[in-house]
Structure 1
Amino acid sequence: MEAVKEHIIIKGLGAISPLGHDSASTAAAYTSGVPAFETILHQGILTPIAALRAEAEQKLQELVEANHGYKHLDRSVLMAVYAARQAAMQAGWLQENAPVDDDLAVNIGSSRGATGLFEQYFKAFQQEKLSSSASPTTTLGNLSSWVAHAVNAGGGQISHSITCSTALMAIANGVAWLKAGMARRFLAGGTEAPLTDFTIAQMKAVGIYSRLADHPYPCQPYAAEKHNTFTLGEGAAVFALEKTHHPATGAAIVEAVGLGFEKLVSKTGISAEGINFQKSMRQALTQLPEHDRKIDLIITHTPGTRAGDTAELAAIQAVFGENAPAITTNKWLIGHTLGASGALSLQYALQVLQQQQYTSIPYPNLLSQKHPQSIKRIMVNAAGFGGNAASVVVSLV
């Protein structure tokens, strides 16, 4: 008798970003297609960024006021806690004052971790006024440990960084742990709060930051005009994962997770052919049923850089050929949120599956803009410095 197939379902989702602080506000922002960018003065130069809006900022403030211990935490940790509590609540896992759940594991990642606090404490160090809180509050482990406290999780607590693939690799860990029986429930996602002087300066130093401060679309993935338009954003998204043999109708399923690495050929770690993307996409495709490996839409990583965008499009062409799926991204709306970007793209994928529509990119670009009639399966890509890439395939039952 054929064994009953196991499914990894997304039972809950929480997110906070420049587009919104819950499902309703975020969905409305995607539907409107209005970018969430603003302009700041950074080192005397007008610079575009995507920061949380007032309502989302108020939600973070309410979180801090509800728990005295949160006021010393980095912004990245606060956003992770906020998103994780949303996800756990939606999944039905969040019970205040309940016993610790030893079967609930947590993996929250970030490319750069406690960026704001680290810079703050380094300035204090230079002035010989360093606080005893400096080390405890800037360790990467803060991410998952504080999330675990916030949702009463007593299982494995993993904080990691694999640059901009971080969030999707947290999903990969969740899938692996659940399939291995090392946890019954798993919270996985990514968070990033990189809108600091030093982090913005680092991105500018790489030579990729957008100079389109006065443009309605400062971040332009797939731009027809060849220029770099990388723009930083902030946010977090967390997913409540669970294994089941009988998913309910309409449930979101993680069908496949692929990882890819390539030999470093540049400081950003990506080849012109996008070898890392080719590997991650092919690995994900092999996990789908042999008779049904059709992808209807790819939400690409494409951060708005000439090299990165071109490499990923080349990789898609190499893997899918003439049968390449439709392609879109959300970075023209919220910029690049580094370690959280894959999670926010996955959030977008779930909305597209539910709504069966996505907003066309309004500036001149290299895509055909042909939308599929039906969107049953979406692949989400992410890649980061170091030559790594990840691809996650999701669908609805």
Structure 2
Amino acid sequence: MKEEKQHIVIKGCGILSPLGYDAASVAAAYAAGKPAFTTQTHQGQATPVAALPPAAEQQLEQLIESNSVYKQLDRSVLMAVYAAQQAAAQAGWLHKNASDDDDLAVNIGSSRGATGLFEQHYEAFQQEQLSSSASPTTTLGNLSSWVAHAVNAGGGQISHSITCSTALMAVANGVAWLKAGMAKRFLAGGTEAPLTDFTIAQMKAVGIYSKLAEHPYPCQPYAQEKQNTFTLGEGAAVFALEQNITAPGDVIIEAVGFGFEKLTSKTGISSEGLNFQKSMRQALTQLPAQDQQVDLIITHTPGTRAGDRAELAAIQAVFGDTSPAITTNKWLIGHTLGASGALSIQYALHILEQQQFTSIPYPHLLPHQDSSQINRIMINAAGFGGNAASIVLQKR
């Protein structure tokens, strides 16, 4: 009798985003199709951002109250802990038997890390009032170590950054660890809390930040109008992964691909999107030779003229006239940097469950958005430095 093949299965998902604090609240927000942007004053200018809604903020406050130590942690770490606990609970992993948890590994990534705390501590440093907690609470390792504490994980604990591809790289790392037998269970995802003065100023300095503070859609990926509409958002998403024989309805990580190109600009992307071309092609080669159809691509598309057009050019180069349907969630939640790929994966899970995605309402460059049956979704991410990653999910 032929032994059934095992796959990397997503057993649980935790989410905290501008759209909500769990799968149900986020699904309702996607169905409503209402962008999550608000306006704050930054350096005297009205600036659009996508912050957590009050209900999600309340969930975060309850988490902080559950452990007195949490009060000293950065917002990015707290969001990761919240999402990880949610994912682990959904997977049935939260229990008190610590001896059984050495097989649970963690990889949480972030582009910027403890941005808020770093800025606070630097301000205190300038006033010669630096706290002894400054270094311990701003290290990148904070992300996974505190998540591991929260879910009783005794396996490998990895924190990393590869700019905006970070979350997809974390999930890819989880796939590799599980396939190598270095872990039996793996929590992977990304978190970002970049709505701080210095981080927003950095994005404005690049010259890409949206000036559409009063527009209902301040972030407009693939917009026909030629302007940059990059808008920052915050959030976290974490996934509980296992290698198992699948059951009907399971969602598996079917392929992971990476791409890099030589730096030719500050942001590191060519007009042809060579990094995207490489990552998508590498992912497609891992699919069955007789079945490499992708039904939908959730693109990176942060709302920049160069980046959006480069990714569309890459999709055309890879798929030609048989391009899948294309969509993105950034017009609703902005760009969450290192967490963006994780929030796109969560969006993919939502689409696979609901068999529909929210149509982009403003004039755009996408060739089409329709897809009658969605069983396989490709998620793209790219970051400063010329890197890109692509992950393919399939519903069994």
TM-score by structure 1 length?
Answer: 0.99
Say which is worse superposed, 219-228 or 99-108, in terms of deviation.
99-108
1:47-70 per-residue CA deviation (whole Å, 9 max, x = no partner) reads 000000101001000001001111
Matching residue of 1:338: 337
Deviation at 1:171, TM superposition (A): 0.5
What pairs up with 1:299-378 in 2 under 5 angstroms? Answer: 299-378=298-377
Q: Secondary structure at the match of 1:258?
A: strand
Task: Tell me if structure 1 keeps the 8 A contact 2:359–2:369.
Answer: no
Q: Secondary structure at the match of 1:395?
A: strand
Cα distance in 1, alignment partners of residues 372 and 216 from structure 2: 29
Cα distance in 2, alignment partners of residues 298 and 118 from structure 1: 36
What pairs up with 1:178-217 in 2 under 5 angstroms? Answer: 178-217=178-217
Deviation at 1:356, TM superposition (A): 0.4
1:326-382 per-residue CA deviation (whole Å, 9 max, x = no partner) reads 000000000000000000000000110110001110001011344111011000000
Cα distance in 1, alignment partners of residues 314 and 6 from structure 2: 30
Cα distance in 2, alignment partners of residues 263 and 100 from structure 1: 45
Task: Tell me if structure 2 keeps the 8 A contact 1:105–1:155.
Answer: yes
Residue segments in structure 2 that go unaligned for 5+ positions in a row: none
Cα distance in 2, alignment partners of residues 108 and 94 from structure 1: 18
Are residues 1:264 and 2:266 paired? no
Letter of the 2:19 counterpart:
L
Letter of the 2:9 counterpart:
I
C-alpha RMSD over aligned residues: 1.0
Task: Tell me if structure 2 keeps the 8 A contact 1:297–1:375.
Answer: yes
Cα distance in 2, alignment partners of residues 356 and 18 from structure 1: 22
Cα pair distance change 1:99/1:65, threshold 3 Å:
farther
What pairs up with 1:49-64 in 2 under 5 angstroms? Answer: 49-64=49-64
What pairs up with 1:1-397 in 2 under 5 angstroms? Answer: 4-96=4-96, 98-99=98-99, 101-244=101-244, 246-397=245-396
Deviation at 1:44, TM superposition (A): 0.2
Cα distance in 1, alignment partners of residues 135 and 340 from structure 2: 26
Deviation at 1:100, TM superposition (A): 6.1
Cα pair distance change 1:100/1:142, threshold 3 Å:
farther
Residue segments in structure 1 that go unaligned for 5+ positions in a row: none
Cα distance in 2, alignment partners of residues 67 and 21 from structure 1: 19
Report percent identity of matched pairs: 78
Task: Tell me if structure 2 keeps the 8 A contact 1:11–1:239.
Answer: yes
Cα distance in 2, alignment partners of residues 290 and 2 from structure 1: 20
Task: Tell me if structure 2 keeps the 8 A contact 1:99–1:152.
Answer: no
1:264-315 per-residue CA deviation (whole Å, 9 max, x = no partner) reads 0100010110000000000000000000000000000000000000000000
Deviation at 1:169, TM superposition (A): 0.2
Deviation at 1:395, TM superposition (A): 1.1
Letter of the 1:149 counterpart:
H
Moved over 6 A (4+): none
Cα pair distance change 1:3/1:96, threshold 3 Å:
closer
Q: Secondary structure at the match of 1:190?
A: strand
Task: Tell me if structure 2 keeps the 8 A contact 1:100–1:152.
Answer: no
Q: Secondary structure at the match of 1:260?
A: strand
Task: Tell me if structure 1 keeps the 8 A contact 2:344–2:379.
Answer: yes
TM-score by structure 2 length?
Answer: 0.99
Q: Secondary structure at the match of 2:189?
A: strand
Letter of the 1:301 counterpart:
H
Cα distance in 1, alignment partners of residues 59 and 115 from structure 2: 21
Cα distance in 1, alignment partners of residues 64 and 273 from structure 2: 42
Deviation at 1:116, TM superposition (A): 0.1
Cα distance in 2, alignment partners of residues 224 and 97 from structure 1: 55
Q: Secondary structure at the match of 2:241?
A: strand
1:144-182 per-residue CA deviation (whole Å, 9 max, x = no partner) reads 000000000000000000000000000000000000000
Letter of the 1:319 counterpart:
V
Task: Tell me if structure 2 keeps the 8 A contact 1:100–1:153.
Answer: no
Cα distance in 2, alignment partners of residues 6 and 165 from structure 1: 26
Cα distance in 1, alignment partners of residues 118 and 20 from structure 2: 26
